[in-house]
Structure 1
Amino acid sequence: MAGFSANPFKLENASLRAGMSDRDEVARILSDAYAEGKLDDLEYQERLESALRIKLLGEVRPLVIDLGSPKHLLARREPPAVAVERIRAEKRSELRRAVTTWTGLALLFNVIYLVTALTGAGLHYYWPIWPMVGVGIWVVTALADARRPVSPKELERPRDD
């Protein structure tokens, strides 16, 4: 549950006392809605003032329920700097996975090539190049993706965790 002390959309929590973190969370939800154009200036100001005066969690629902589903409203968004670093780490991880896979397959294919060559087939046609090139395409695209700056579209993508 994001930044609320308890889920304000559950009836059994309506009579619980709201804390400062609960008020801050309502303010975050209202700010997000205002930024998305769901609230005009006046309505945003009115709701924000009401949010800062919340005493019980039951007062949260009327302020935000028309702005989205409870699940959507409770979802926590990462700060942009954290999201950028997380995306960069995912890209580095993908690059490591691609390089490790390419290295392992190149080693395997070359061992097979050498074993077959030494058992009488000879060193005529170097066939391991083709699967290495195929997997190498993944390495090159992962490298290009890791070097590319994080785009705003990637920041909008929901987290998988």
Structure 2
Amino acid sequence: MSAQLPERPGPVWTRFSADPRVHGDVRASDADRDVAAEAINAAFSDGRLDSIEHSERLSGVLASKRLGELVPLLSDIVVATRVAPAPAVKARKVQDGALRSWLGLAALFNVIWLSTWLFAGVTPYYYWPIWPMIGTAIPALITWIGAGAAGRRAAEDPEAARARRERDRDRDWHRDRRELHG
């Protein structure tokens, strides 16, 4: 049995300068060809390619000029990885969890209030569960709003995110400069 070669972190397609499956017309760099050669060598060491296929594919990698030329050489040996859920989906799960937690606590407070009323045998004169419900609603609401904003930020266009970070950095720099110089 052959020893397992250590893999670089991340799926093969993300290690290219641009995803060859999407940006096939982009010219391949030496680093891109190295990534493809690593994947082919790993497949050969795993026994998924014989020596003839290995040498043919390596020749194809070295001769490639565009990223799209690498796709047919790698598509049957690179295992597609599970796509991580979108940030908006993660944010929605956090929001749903916050809402479910608050609803559970609100139900608990009301069950306690109702059971004390029923077993005491008196007419309820004060609806006290409103106060712990408000108290637990505040952090749940903050979590709900924060998760929604984080999901929107994560889902925004990478170029827009970079521009926003630069704008924020410039604003902070100018503010700090004004504070220093009075």
Query: What TM-score results when the alignment is normalised by the length of structure 1?
Result: 0.39
Find the structure with the greater CA-based Rg. Answer: 2
